[in-house]
Amino acid sequence: MGTGDYENVEDNMKALLNNFLREESGQDLIEYTLLMAFVALASASIFLQAGNSVGTIWQSGSTQISNAAVAAS
């Protein structure tokens, strides 16, 4: 191998590295993944709060039905 061959390999490696650093198509995937993670966390928070509200409503209804059953007997 002559000296020119090593320079050619070095130029090719520099070109590959520059192309890799300029490539932005992988960023879209990361951004969409982060967005989906945020939506999932927000949804989980909403469902937990809704579950607590439904539990409170269910408990209130159950108490009223129990009181009505006691009063009717």
Number of domains in the chain: 1
Three-state SS at 72:
helix
pLDDT of residue 3: 57
Reply yes or no on whether the pLDDT at 59 is more than 70: yes
* Res. 6 pLDDT band, cuts 50 70 90: low
pLDDT at 29: 80
What pTM, to 2 d.p., does this model score?
0.45
Domain around 35: 3-72
Q: What are the pLDDT digits (tens) for 27-48?
A: 778 888 999 999 999 999 998 8
User: What tokens does 8 get?
Assistant: 């050619």
Complete DSSP assignment for 39-71: HHHHHHHHHHHHHHHHHHHHHHHHHHHHHHHHH
pLDDT of residue 4: 59
Residue type, 19: N
